[in-house]
A and B are shown apart, each in its own frame.
Chain A
């Protein structure tokens, strides 16, 4: 690259002064990565639409570095719970702390120093339709880090797109040119743009074919492991629960009735949980999971 340079020792190596305007521009400064035990702490949450109460006295703590699955019947307020945590739905009572910051005390658009530390994948991807996939990924980067050069932004967008398993050619495509599964991956790329510590996924595998869904599960698990993410995952997909969730929280009766690994949940003998995990679909998922584990063990023994 630099063969033509005559002076080999002339290297720009002075410790740099950070330009004033750059230091000023990044006013939402994230401190060190969160080191506490519970990045999300919800206590006494109450959500109601008019007379219809969705959550009543709901408590939940999410551990750092885990993939937590949120399950519950339709209409039990899984998405509302997620929207409360990310500050889109204002609860009528209770507190929600994210990275130790009280979300409920902040105004919707107030600078609170956590929005650059989470990424959210909405159900349909929620990509900005007038921007290409790469430009979508660049939006949060430009918002929080104006000091990044256009060149670097493009490089970051390129590798993030490939990181989420999209083909290179998808980088310059508009959302309307993508299939449902690709939109989800592109949405994930945007959610991961800021290298967040916390990732929210709202039904990531809904609407994907089984092969695509399994691949998305693997991807989520791999990213969580590689990047050390805490993942808050809403799902109906039993395969996803078995394959990648460390713990599962069950929403019923307006609150979280149980949190734990799937065997732990089964011990609670709550009728809904029993029905959920012992239905025909659940049995099939368990069988698949056990088979997969068997295969894993075999290869482990062989190598």
Chain B
């Protein structure tokens, strides 16, 4: 199939402009026959040929008693509609209609309607005010529902703890693979580059004080404490949080979720718990992996730019980075994982109506997750400093 397609490609004629045939357009002329003013419409009255006639019929002024269509044809419903509308607007009689034209004019006459094309829109000032109000209420309710969803999840988790056989082992492993293993390359590369950037920029500034050896402290502490986990959370939100929302949202649209419920399978147990557990379990591992990759990136720069041998850089890291920096990162990681997975699954479950909603909810899931992660990170920073892990 693909092969045949490929072979045919050279035949494609890019930019070919098809010949413009001389098209015969419908036209109108006026005839005076004694007392009677007659508008004679000629030419084909089809959707393809009547377009140019329409403005003339609309703008024409003056009295018309008869509309003669004996010289017009062939007809379709658009042509019939034009004739019908023109004749009615002028109170004119239609004469010379062929049998086909009469049938079509009769058909469109019955189908006349004055309905709106789109639902009416409010005035823009009101719409903006209303929009702001609706948004505000939505945000408040959304916050409440997020908490509610978390509660629902905890109840389901408690159920799983009491009956461990209800845990979907296969689904959990599968999700762990998707969230964790398959994101290793991208997270590794990203962190490695971030490590390089921090070390290089830090070294440039620290050299001014002759303190370039402190680059080791900078890279080691900032990656293990903050950036490793934070950047990983952002990447997981983009990679997995969005996927959760889109998958669950699509399943909602195709009524798969309803089908589960009717069979007695809890969608929270089957879909949400494996995803959330996977994210919570994989985030610390990914965060640690990211920190290590960033340190390696920093060590490479140290070797190349500062003349600190690669292995000495790593040895220094062990001396200057306090162990609690590692704990700070590892405490935050599962919380971030929970937030990312929660907002992905929550938004997915909120999908209603049409395909557009899936896209909207997916975007919302990612934005919400990243925002919440950064806000929480700020709180964590203050908290850990206060308890003495500065």
Contacts and interface: CB of A to CB of B under 8 A. Distances in A.
Kindly name the residue among B12, B59, B115, B354 whose own CB sees the greatest number of chain A CB atoms within 10 A: B115
A93 B297 CA distance: 57
Interface in A9-36: 9-16, 18-19, 22-24, 26-33
B368 to A, nearest CB: 23
A227 B17 CA distance: 31
A87 B80 CA distance: 31
Interface string B154-189: 000000000000000000000000000000000000
Interface string B87-125: 001110000000010011001101111111111000000
A254 to B, nearest CB: 17
A162 B52 contact: no
Contact of B108 (A111, A147, A159, A173): A159
Given A10-B62, A90-B5, A92-B4, A18 B25 contact: yes
Nearest to B104: A226
A11 B117 contact: no
A231 to B, nearest CB: 16
A136 to B, nearest CB: 11
A156 B81 contact: yes
Nearest to A164: B111
A29 B27 CA distance: 18
Interface in B281-331: none
B61 A2 contact: yes
Interface stretch (A67-75, A126-134, A198-206, A209-217): A126-134
User: Is chain A's binding surface mostly helix, strand, loop or mixed?
Assistant: loop
A14 B28 CA distance: 8
Interface stretch (B70-78, B222-230, B240-248, B375-383): B70-78
A172 B115 contact: yes
Nearest to B108: A159
B48 A26 contact: yes
A24 B22 CA distance: 10
Given A33-B74, A132-B117, A135-B118, A16 B52 contact: yes
A29 B49 CA distance: 9
Nearest to B12: A107
A240 interface: no
Nearest to A29: B21
A31 B46 CA distance: 11
B265 interface: no
B1 to A, nearest CB: 7
Contacts of B48: 26, 29-30, 116, 144-145
A18 B62 contact: no
B111 A32 contact: no
Contacts of A9: 32, 37, 62
B23 A159 contact: no
A159 B27 contact: no
B52 A147 contact: yes
Given A28-B18, A157-B117, A226-B107, A148 B62 contact: no
Contact of B115 (A8, A141, A171): A171
Given A7-B62, A145-B48, A148-B51, A171 B18 contact: no
Contacts of A160: 77, 111
A168 B354 contact: no
B64 interface: yes
A234 interface: no
A176 interface: yes
Nearest to A147: B51
B201 to A, nearest CB: 46
B29 interface: yes
Interface in A152-191: 152, 154-163, 168-176
B354 A11 contact: no
B56 A12 contact: yes
A225 to B, nearest CB: 9
A227 B20 contact: no
20 contacts: A1-B91, A5-B62, A9-B32, A11-B37, A29-B21, A32-B74, A111-B18, A129-B354, A134-B117, A144-B48, A149-B51, A155-B85, A157-B117, A158-B113, A159-B77, A160-B111, A163-B77, A168-B115, A195-B77, A226-B107
Given A92-B1, A145-B47, 10 more contacts: A11-B61, A18-B52, A31-B21, A132-B117, A148-B54, A149-B54, A155-B85, A168-B115, A226-B104, A228-B100
Report, nearest first, the 9 A-B pairs whose CB atoms are least far apart: A171-B115, A13-B30, A195-B76, A11-B62, A147-B51, A162-B111, A129-B354, A172-B116, A168-B115
Interface of B: 1, 4-5, 8, 11-13, 17-18, 20-21, 23, 25, 27-30, 32, 37, 39, 46-48, 51-56, 58-64, 74, 76-78, 81-82, 85, 89-91, 100, 103-104, 107-108, 110-119, 353-356
Interface of A: 1-2, 5, 7-16, 18-19, 22-24, 26-33, 90, 92, 105, 107, 110-111, 113, 116, 129-130, 132, 134-135, 138, 141, 144-145, 147-149, 151-152, 154-163, 168-176, 194-195, 226-228
